[in-house]
Amino acid sequence: MLQFKFVDYHSHKKEHDQFVIKALDLKERMERGSLILTMEIYYYLAHWLVNHILVTDKRYSNNFNENGLY
């Protein structure tokens, strides 16, 4: 992304960083026994993944294609 000067790189990376923080928090809470996998967590994870791939990742696909990556 940086190599091809993707203008939204920092906001895109921030989304990934926030997701990792949330996922690690959920994992730690489950390991401590203070959290069970609920539909709320399932929907959060499913929504983030689908939305991120279909919306956020689409934003840089044109940039990559314009720079010879297909």
> Within a domain: residue 62?
yes
Predicted local confidence at residue 18, as pLDDT: 93
> Within a domain: residue 2?
no
Q: Across the chain, what does the average pLDDT equal?
A: 83
> Within a domain: residue 1?
no
Look up residue 51 and give its two tokens: 């939305």
> Within a domain: residue 40?
yes
Which residue in the block uniquely carries the two structure tokens 């730690």? 28
Predicted local confidence at residue 70, as pLDDT: 62
> Within a domain: residue 20?
yes
Predicted local confidence at residue 17, as pLDDT: 95
Q: How many domains does the chain have?
A: 1
> Within a domain: residue 34?
yes
| Sign of the CA dihedral running 52, 27, 42, 18 | negative
- Residue ranges of the chain with pLDDT lower than 50? none
Q: Closest Cα partner for 67 from 5, 21, 4, 14?
A: 4
The answer to whether residues 41 and 33 touch, using CB atoms and an 8 Å cutoff, is no
Residue 33 domain boundaries: 9-66
